[in-house]
Structure 1
Amino acid sequence: MKKADISIALFVVSAFVMFIVPIPAWLLDIFLAFNIALAFTILFGCMFVKEVLDLSFFPTMLLFTTIFRIALNISATKLILSSGDPGNVIVVFGNFVGGGDLVIGVIIFIILILIQFMVINKGSERVAEVTARFTLDAMPGKQMAIDADLNTGAITDVEAKRRRDKIQEEASFFGSMDGAVKYVKGDAIAGLIITVINIVGGIAMGVLRQGMDVGGAIDKYTILTIGDGLVSQIPSLLISLSTGILVTKGSKDADFGSVLIRQLFGVPKVLYFVGIILALLGVVTPLNDILFIMMGLVFIVSGRVMAGTIETAKIEAEVDLDEMAAEEIRQPENVSSLLQVDPIELEFGYGIIPLADVNQGGDLLDRVVMIRRQIALELGTVVPIIRLRDNIQLNPNQYIIKIKGVQVSEGEILFDHYMAMNPGYVEEEITGIPTFEPSFHLPAIWITEGQRERAESLGYTVVDPPSIIATHLTEVIRQYISELLTRQDVQNLVNNMKETNPSLVEELVPKQLGVGEIQKVLQNMLKEGISIRDLLTIFETLADYASTTRDTDILTEYVRQSLKRAISSKYFPANETTSVVTMDPKLEQEIMNSVKQTEQGAYLTLDPEKTKTVIKSVGDEVQKLENLGKNPIIITSPIVRMYFKRLTEDYYRDLIVVSYNEIESNVELQSVGMVTIA
């Protein structure tokens, strides 16, 4: 055991021993002196602690010190009643503090009790209760602020976790303080009751057991009881004061002394007024003129000194700022920060700033949080931090989206307008500013707030500017999510899987596949919009087939076949016949004959003229499906699927290529065409 643990245990046990075992007067003196020292230690600790959480165990301290103080009261009561000699400390306090006068001692003791119970304890209890309530009520807002800073890249994941933990600790601390203040209040009441019992019991013992007269018994035992009460109530008062200081600290990161002096005496104008008023009181009233005039001059001089100090500090700050700027110019450029590339950036002109500014009612930050959550649920991967920044070089209403520092898309909105899109069945057109929806490049018009209700009644799809940007950003992320999946992201997924399925991970990584190879498989899945949330099935499939091949493309096909239930539900609705396009077996054979195997993998060497013919045929068949309002889906045999997808992906980005092995047996398909080279 640690020495600190042993010391705390002995401190608590000693209190319980004093409840039962009588202790000699000299040992009681030691414990009383230690109790006073401990009270001062707690007081100054609370005054000069910079953050309340640095005393997170303060409620426990209150409990321990209260028990120890009550134990001292009981031990002192035993000595007072049994021998009439409770030791030097109690006798001195009874005679010295009360001036040897019984009435003065009683009055001082009552005043201390009233100050502690009615002023300090009452106020501390109320402040602790209100602080605890406000701290708990403010938790959701603080959590949202942390999420917003995290999503804008202002803080890291580690910093966000530290802030969340701090908020939780503060809530727990102030909640505990709300209850711990009751210990101090109860201690004050117990001290008062013990004092009354000691006086009555002492008089009874003196008269009945020691043959003293009533006056002598009252004089002796009341002085001893008052001494006992004072020697216990003064530390109790100090700890009550410590509690009040801790719960009323306005700044959580402030040095108590320097901040208090600066706030109280830091305004020269205030000191001037106080000095003048004091001097006038000394001149125009019968008050001691020397005292008040001298004190007034002290305040006026202090104000002048403070004004000079403030002016000097301001000049020094300006000089330091100039020196820092000059030093920054003289230093070689620090290019390390310029080498970092943000995975995703959303830059916008100054006209769009209100949409991202929470203080102006903008909710773009909240929408970014929802985008990351939506992608995580839909595709099973974590979207990197999305950096939002304004760019004065852009048009006021323009925004651009960058992936790894390179612009991949852009759009333009009208801040006080709505975008209305015709879904195809609107008969009456509405007037507006023609434009195109940025995500899917569909024709649309900008309308005003006054036209919104009428446009919706006519059947238009009406979207506000933040939704336009959020939808556009979501589609761009979906398109490039495979590029954004890094090896570190994969390693994090592996670590998460290892917590629940350690044997599977140990079998697969790194014995059969490396993190880089798993990354390639997952990227292949994400590139075609297939979710990787079912990581258990993916890893089990890789473990099954990695022993026969390490070709990531072939492993991807095996994984897709294992996920056929998810793929079928994604592309083929239940209880509905889906229109698709099939492939000519001759074309499939032609493609397989053109596949060349190398050490780096397989690739397609189809004749350019045949490639052109295939692409044209695909275009014709896709057009048929689009005319029917259907998704462009082509069904191939398993061995051809990945080569055909690569052949067509540069021409038809949204083309869905599925093999027969990836379709559930209960799916109903209807072929409306065939891709052929004939």
Structure 2
Amino acid sequence: MLDSVKLPAFFQRSSLIGIGGPLLVMLVLAMVVLPLPAAILDILFTFNITLSIAVILSVIYIRKPLEFGVFPTVLLLSTLLRLALNIASTRVVLLEGHTGGDAAGKVIQAFGEFVIGGNYAVGLVVFAILVIINFVVVTKGATRVSEVTARFTLDAMPGKQMAIDADVNAGLIDQEEAGARREEIRQEADFYGAMDGASKFVRGDAVAGIIILVINIVGGLLIGTLQRDMSFGAAVERYALLTVGDGLVAQIPALLLSTAVAMIVTRMSRSQDMGQELFQQVFGQPRVLTFTAAVLGLMGMIPGMPNVAFLLLAAVAGSAAWLLHKRREEVAAAVQQEQQREPPVQPEAPRELDWGDIAQVDPVGLEVGYRLVPLVDRAQGGELMGRIKGVRKKLSQSLGFLISAVHIRDNLELAPNQYRISIFGVPCAEAEVRPDRELAINPGGVSGTVQGQEAVDPAFGMPAVWIDPASREHAQTMGYTVADSATVIATHLSQTLKKHAHELLGHQEVQNLLDQLAKSAPKLVEDLTPKTLPLSVIVRVLQQLLAEQVPIRNFRGICEALAEHGARSQDIDTLLGAVRVALGRQIVQELNGMAEELPVVTLAPDLESLLVQLTQQGSAALEPGLAERIQESLQAATRDQEMRGEPAVLLVPGEIRPMLARFARQGVPGLHVLAHSEIPEDKQLRLVQSVARNTTQAA
């Protein structure tokens, strides 16, 4: 019967947990105002100690600071609870302290009599030492670390955001993972910013503990001698013991929380088990323990030293070193046995050669030197394979066809840190990386310099520095984009594949695209090929689009344009012009985004007429001097547009666009040649320069 009764939401577990925070705040406020009996104080003091122990253990066992994101709030609430308990216990001590040592509860009595032996002078010394440790050592250091960490975390945010954008552009991560990383950066900045303020609570609490102790002793002496007719000595002994016991009960949880603050702000941001890492890094080396045992043994044999203690610890350290050494030997022996269990490879009988023995050239190849092999070996923690997979996925989505798999192999003819990228067996790019370093790339506008080996980013040619991994945060703070060796290679590979995408698109790839399109538009594919155009012509047009940095994602629109104009002409330039007109909005948007105005460079009327006349005569050859002047003018115009942060677009008549596009690809990288008919009707043009026969004229 009871099982069928649904409890109200207020009584459900989640609701009860949810009211815990507000209830604690109300209890803290109540303790400040209402007098509490000694039994309730015992429970609350015990709860305060329990809470402090739970908090410091939580800090030890979390894998990274952000897993305890509510820590600054917990720190504030625990500090308020401790101060409220100080006020409540002070009230009881001053009102009922004359009645006996248990007037303020058994907990304060135990700390006043058992912990310090009933000697208030010893208690004052112990309390002073605890306050000095808490205030001068732990709290002051934690506060300074919190301030520095918060400042560096906030300063490093732009560099981290740029690194995420670079990974997205290189195809190393997708938008979902990029969003998760940005959210983690924001949470990290909020957490350390909150810790910067929360650490001040602990420091203020230590100061308040000293002031409360002085007030309690002075107030107790005045009340005991003037109101309770106690002798000065009896009042000092009674109230000093109660006050010291009260102070120790408050300072021990305060010291635990201060230690928790120091531990959480001095931890590294990466995920790690602190206890395991601490043991492995401090006691995980047999050589260290061996030398420690030797030093302890020598000190233990010196006459007059505590020989038993030193020799006992030397034996413990030596035994631990021996056990670690034996364990490593057992692991190595197990690995060797496993390798020996594998059956030996039987040599194959020689056979006759056939056509299958002729190796095909890989479409995309990556050769690495022997020091870069760990980057591609997943067994050694190499991340390059995963990065390359992300690059292929990103490029395939952006270009519109499946990028061929990358065949990776080592090459002993290369330098140890060198790699080479090849397309169909022809080397296209090569560079060197430092696996033990990270590349800090200067995107422009950095606020300082970093120490390291100067280099050049192989993907974009920007100035860079190979730095120590420990300097990553510092470099990001100054505006550098920092990438590891695997990211550098993957980004370089991405740019190389994008540049040579037209070489990777062949007949089989285009046929696969047509097969996919036939599932949704079978009639279009049937009318296009082979009825209207042969497959070879379609391949040539698509290759030309990719060579001009135009993605073929809108494959249906391309096929519709080819089907429409293919019946009248099979000339590649004519069909390419028709397709570009159909893709005009996509081309312009990729160059200039959603901006309403497109800045363009044009040709002077006399130069334009000359080029049109040459094209109509079937001659694409320019007089060498004129070609050189045009190239210099276009290069200058392109540099000016790049300095303004705008795309470099040359707007020309459709009949001369193919000739100038080939001319720009050879001598003016970064310049995009568009025909008048490719500009959408709703796009406004802004003339920035005009290229004449002799000079470039600003508009």
TM-score band, normalised by the shorter chain?
A: 0.5 to 0.7
The structure 2 residue matched to 1:198, chosen from 216, 224, 237, is 216
1:208 aligns with 2:221: no
- Label 1:385 to 1:154 Cα distance change in 2 as closer, same or farther (>3 A): farther
Q: Which residue of 2 aligns with 1:432?
A: none
Q: Which residue of 2 aligns with 1:63?
A: 76
- Label 1:304 to 1:231 Cα distance change in 2 as closer, same or farther (>3 A): same
Shift of 1:71: 1.0
Q: Which residue of 2 aligns with 1:26?
A: 39
Contact 1:135 1:174 in 2 (8 A): yes
Q: Which residue of 2 aligns with 1:104?
A: 122
The amino acid of 2:191's aligned partner reads F
1:620 aligns with 2:633: no
CA distance in 1, matches of 2:62, 2:421: 48
Contact 2:55 2:260 in 1 (8 A): yes
The structure 1 residue matched to 2:203, chosen from 156, 180, 185, is 185
Contact 1:633 1:658 in 2 (8 A): yes
Contact 1:18 1:72 in 2 (8 A): yes
- Label 1:387 to 1:149 Cα distance change in 2 as closer, same or farther (>3 A): farther
- Classify the secondary structure of the residue corresponding to 2:228: coil
Q: Which residue of 2 aligns with 1:94?
A: 112
Structure 1 residues 141-150 or 655-664, which shifts more? Answer: 655-664
Q: Which residue of 2 aligns with 1:174?
A: 192
Alignment of 1:380-459 (within 5 A): 407=424, 411=428
Alignment of 1:149-548 (within 5 A): 155-250=173-268, 252-317=270-335, 347=366, 407=424, 411=428, 476=500
Identity score, percent: 31
Contact 1:278 1:293 in 2 (8 A): yes
Contact 1:70 1:187 in 2 (8 A): yes
- Classify the secondary structure of the residue corresponding to 1:286: coil
What is the TM-score with the length of structure 1 in the denominator?
A: 0.56
- Label 1:660 to 1:227 Cα distance change in 2 as closer, same or farther (>3 A): closer
- Label 1:297 to 1:525 Cα distance change in 2 as closer, same or farther (>3 A): closer
What is the TM-score with the length of structure 2 in the denominator?
A: 0.55
Contact 1:19 1:74 in 2 (8 A): yes
The amino acid of 2:42's aligned partner reads D
The amino acid of 1:300's aligned partner reads G
Shift of 1:35: 0.5
Structure 1 residues 473-482 or 270-279, which shifts more? Answer: 473-482
CA distance in 2, matches of 1:663, 1:71: 71
Q: Which residue of 2 aligns with 1:116?
A: 134
CA distance in 2, matches of 1:660, 1:281: 91
Structure 1 residues 92-101 or 253-262, which shifts more? Answer: 253-262
Shift of 1:191: 0.9
Shift of 1:194: 0.8
Shift of 1:254: 2.7
Corresponding pairs, count: 495
Q: Which residue of 2 aligns with 1:601?
A: none
- Classify the secondary structure of the residue corresponding to 1:100: coil
Contact 2:284 2:324 in 1 (8 A): yes
Q: Cα deviations across residues 552-587 of structure 1 (Å, max 9, x unaligned)?
A: x9999688599999999657459888438889xxxx
Shift of 1:318: 5.0
Structure 1 residues 229-238 or 213-222, which shifts more? Answer: 213-222
Q: Cα deviations across residues 473-523 of structure 1 (Å, max 9, x unaligned)?
A: 66545999999x99xxxxxxxxxxxxxxxxxxxxxxx9xxxxxxxxx9xx9
Contact 2:422 2:429 in 1 (8 A): no
Q: Which residue of 1 aligns with 2:92?
A: 79
1:40 aligns with 2:58: no
Structure 1 residues 106-115 or 568-577, which shifts more? Answer: 568-577
The structure 2 residue matched to 1:579, chosen from 604, 609, 612, is 609
Contact 1:346 1:400 in 2 (8 A): yes
CA distance in 1, matches of 2:598, 2:282: 73
Contact 2:135 2:203 in 1 (8 A): yes
Shift of 1:23: 2.5
- Classify the secondary structure of the residue corresponding to 1:10: helix
Q: Which has the higher contact order (CA 8 A, sep 6+)?
A: 2
Q: Which residue of 2 aligns with 1:439?
A: none
- Label 1:579 to 1:27 Cα distance change in 2 as closer, same or farther (>3 A): farther
Contact 2:94 2:219 in 1 (8 A): yes
Contact 1:580 1:632 in 2 (8 A): no
The amino acid of 2:129's aligned partner reads I
The amino acid of 1:2's aligned partner reads S
- Label 1:236 to 1:196 Cα distance change in 2 as closer, same or farther (>3 A): same
Q: Which residue of 1 aligns with 2:65?
A: 52
Shift of 1:141: 5.5
CA distance in 2, matches of 1:663, 1:273: 78
- Label 1:472 to 1:53 Cα distance change in 2 as closer, same or farther (>3 A): closer
Shift of 1:18: 1.8
Contact 1:15 1:67 in 2 (8 A): yes
